[in-house]
Amino acid sequence: MRLLTHNMLSSNIKGVTDGFPLKIEAGKVVEKEVDMNTDFLKNIFTKIEWKPFVEAAKTLGYSELPEDVDPSLLDSQDFLTKFHHALLEIHLEEGALVCPETGRKFPVSKGIPNMLLHEDEV
Amino acid sequence: MAARPELLAPPEIFYDQSEARKYTSSSRIIDIQAKLSERALELLALPDDGVPRLLLDIGCGSGLSGETLSESGHQWIGLDISEAMLDVAVEREVDGDLLHADMGQGLGFRPGVIDGAISISAVQWLCNADKSSHEPRLRLKAFFGSLYRSLARGARAVLQLYPQNIAQRELIFNYAMRAGFGGGVVVDYPHSTKSRKEYLVLNCGPPSLSAAVPNAKGEDGMSCSDDEENHTVTVSDRNRPRKKRKLDKTNGGKDWVIQKKEQMRRKGAAVPADTKYTARKRKSRF
């Protein structure tokens, strides 16, 4: 699972009002290189919640991202490269996602988070 | 026709390892899936500006449909309930991210972040109650409600599905409308039993001119590419050309009658002897 997905996911348990962001318990982290697409980065930038994104990247061992951002940074090649790397190239292979309200763990194995809920959580 | 898989077992059990394997080994299944997802992507009508979007693939299975999305350059997140299918997807090293989730429990995404959603042959599974805790109506409601929330305004969802009957189609469509979606059903090749495909094209947000339901294929005389089942029958074509009666000059006449009598004699039938009256023309006053 990439941080792109993590930034979109929120806990879906019944009764939870603010299930975002899910905390990450990092086990195994891998990096896979992919081609950079500036258009996509500019498009997705407006949708990313930056603070949780930086936090998540730190948990996975990448702390190059600036704490504060504004859209003007999108013209900087240096920033785009870092943004791209954190968003699309770092994968959480093994570990868990933790619901911020209930503390319920969603295990991640082989890069796939198991988001299935128990019957009493629906 | 094979039984509908929905009636055999719940999806997480039906799509076991051997079933999942088919989705990588059978070129026919791969071909069909690719065609369906290409068409779904076409119906999604994303702006033609070359900017990759973040799409959702609901019931992604082994990632065959996601492959089509990747080929068009989009980023995607796929979710499926069958672990065996997801394992195959991991093996195939698909580009998108995968989630092991149940669409009937609602999709856990932040509001308004997804640019479009496709689903290939998955939504009809929601109409089945596979566990005692399953209530199809609640599951449809949870699914469409959460889908509506997670889509950006103006985004589309294209769900290809095989409803079992009219009641099921109405049920699914009803819940989509109740969640706030606009849109309709696009039926490709409506006259063909084999290539007939239904797509639920849903628009998120207020109806606009661009939100009109797109045209179906094969409705206005466009023929299927691979099989020619789809020719419309024009009125003049409706009557089959009659077999022309043979205008054979050989029957009739004295020689012919004598030959026939000879034939019958050989068969042992009682045939009057040949005389000067045999096959004689009658007078016109008769």
Q: Does A120 reside within a domain?
A: no
Cβ contact, residue pair A37, B73, below 8 Å: yes
Q: Does A49 reside within a domain?
A: yes
Which ranges of chain A does DSSP label H, i.e. alpha helix?
Answer: 3-8, 38-45, 50-59, 77-84
Q: B46 — phi, psi (to 5°)? A: -70, 150
Cβ contact, residue pair A10, B110, below 8 Å: yes
Which among B6, B36, B20, B4 is positioned nearest to B160, based on CA atoms? B36
Which stretches of chain A drop beneath a pLDDT of 70? none
Q: How far is B172 from chain A (nearest CA, A)?
A: 20
Which among B70, B150, B157 is positioned nearest to A8, based on CA atoms? B150
Task: Tell me the pLDDT tens digit for each residue of B19-52.
Answer: 888 877 888 888 888 999 999 999 998 888 888 9
Please determine, for residue B206, whether its predicted confidence score (pLDDT) is greater than 50.
yes
Residue A58: the pLDDT is 93
Cβ contact, residue pair A116, B100, below 8 Å: yes
Please determine, for residue B81, whether its predicted confidence score (pLDDT) is greater than 90.
yes
Best of B72, B94, B95, B105 to disrupt the A interface (most A CBs within 10 Å) is: B105
Q: Does A121 reside within a domain?
A: no
3-class DSSP state for residue B51? coil
Can you tell me the distance from the alpha carbon of B224 to that of B155, in angstroms, rounded to the nearest whole number?
A: 29
Mean pLDDT, residues B241-253 taken together: 65
Which tops the pLDDT comparison, B10 or A107? A107
Residue range(s) occupied by CATH 3.40.50.150 in chain B: 5-203
Residue B240: the pLDDT is 58
pLDDT band at residue B115, thresholds of 50, 70 and 90?
very high
Task: Give chain B positions within 8 Å (CB) of A43.
Answer: 51-53
Residue B146: the pLDDT is 94
Nearest-CB residue to B101 (from A2, A47, A115): A115
Boundaries of domain holding A29: 3-115
Residue B261: the pLDDT is 93
Nearest-CB residue to A9 (from B54, B81, B109): B109
Is the CATH number 3.40.50.150 carried by domain B5-203?
Answer: yes
Nearest-CB residue to B133 (from A7, A43, A119): A119
Q: Is pTM beyond 0.90 here?
A: no
Q: How far is B177 from chain A (nearest CA, A)?
A: 22
Task: Round the average pLDDT of chain B to a whole number and report it.
Answer: 84
Task: Give chain A positions within 8 Å (CB) of B97.
Answer: 1-2, 4-5, 111
Please determine, for residue B228, whether its predicted confidence score (pLDDT) is greater than 50.
no
Domain count across chain A: 1
Task: Give chain A positions within 8 Å (CB) of B102.
Answer: 116-117
Contacts of residue A29, Cβ cutoff 8 Å, sequence gap at least 6: A60, A61, A90, A91, A92, A93
Rounded (to 5) percent helix, strand, coil in chain B:
40, 15, 45
Nearest-CB residue to A114 (from B73, B97, B100): B100
Which CATH number belongs to the domain containing residue A52 in this structure?
Answer: 2.20.25.10
Please determine, for residue B212, whether its predicted confidence score (pLDDT) is greater than 80.
no
Mean pLDDT, residues B218-237 taken together: 47
Tell me, yes or no, if B103 comes closer than 8 A to chain A by beta carbon.
no
Mean pLDDT, residues B223-249 taken together: 50
Can you tell me the distance from the alpha carbon of B149 to that of B147, in angstroms, rounded to the nearest whole number?
A: 5
Task: Give chain B positions within 8 Å (CB) of A112.
Answer: 86, 90, 98-100
Please determine, for residue B144, whether its predicted confidence score (pLDDT) is greater than 90.
yes
